[in-house]
Amino acid sequence: MKSAKSKKKALTPKIFVANWKMNKSYDDSVLFARNHINDLAQTILQTGHTVIICPNYLAIAPINAMLGSSGPMLGAQNCSRHGFGSYTGDTAASSLAQAGCRYVLIGHSERKRFYAETSIDLEHKLKEALKAELIPILCIGESEQEHAEGRTREILEAQLAHQLEIINAAPTQPTTYFIAYEPIWAIGSGITPEPHDLFVIFHWLAEFCTRKSPVAYKLLYGGSVKPANAASILATKHLDGVLIGSASLEFASFDSIIKADLLS
């Protein structure tokens, strides 16, 4: 018979998105899935949480072939701003959906920084994601300087406003969209915002999204989420989950982040 502890369900289902970036090879991505899909499915059953893995493009289809209906789901780290055609090296949102993705990250700060993605690119990508019926995970966040100048809210508002208009005007409105607030200065730095600052941002984000769009949304935080800080970050009011980079690469740390509220 199972103990009462092992039966305990998390009080509020949360969302955990693993962004592997280009940190795992094709072989390592497939091996991670082969070794840990069942363990993750078990954790999902135990906690009631949602888990989404964003591997590199090539690993999406083989990992999808290993997934069951109640385990983790797949997301893409990016998609083309075009729907179809002669765009050498690009991958369309519709192909990502066909390969097994249900989600797509749009506008991660590394895409803006290393590939000069503009807000116009992101708007096209969002439209393509919606056409392909992928749930967009809109990444937003301010730089260290903007943070120091107290301009966070103004920056986030500018990044989001037009994207929400696109969601509202979509021919087929999505059932939901996600926003991942990732302060650029927190990504990979080991630094996270103070709990009160997170509270203020997410309180504002919830109010802003409710006011600007009738579509349901989920709010995530990303940037140096680790097993040691996950429970306190997840306790932030209005926060529905986290987007995890480096701490999602090893199963043990990813799993303990997902179980943070059970372990705390």
The contact set with ligand PGA (CB under 6 A) reads 19, 182, 187-188, 222-225, 243-247
The helix (H) or strand (E) run that includes residue 181 is strand 176-181
Shortest distance (Å) from residue 6 CB to ligand PGA: 29
Q: Looking at this protein, which amino acid is placed at residue 235?
A: A
| Residue placing its CB nearer to ligand PGA in the complex, 166 or 187 | 187
| Residue placing its CB nearer to ligand PGA in the complex, 57 or 215 | 57
CB count within 10 Å of CB 241 equals 25
What is the biggest distance separating any 2 CA atoms in the chain, rounded to whole angstroms? 59
Q: Which residue is nearest to ligand PGA, using beta carbons?
A: 245
Shortest distance (Å) from residue 139 CB to ligand PGA: 7
Shortest distance (Å) from residue 25 CB to ligand PGA: 18
Q: Is 90 left (phi over 0), alpha (psi -120 to 50) or beta?
A: beta
Catalytically active residues, by annotation = 108, 182
| Residue placing its CB nearer to ligand PGA in the complex, 73 or 247 | 247
Q: Are 135 and 167 in contact (CB under 8 A)?
A: no
Q: Count Cα neighbours of 175 within 13 Å in the Cβ-side half-sphere.
A: 4
CB count within 10 Å of CB 108 equals 26
| Residue placing its CB nearer to ligand PGA in the complex, 213 or 225 | 225
What is the distance between the alpha carbons of residues 131 and 174, in angstroms, rounded to a whole number?
9
Shortest distance (Å) from residue 247 CB to ligand PGA: 6
148 Cβ contact partners less than 8 Å away, ≥ 6 residues apart: none
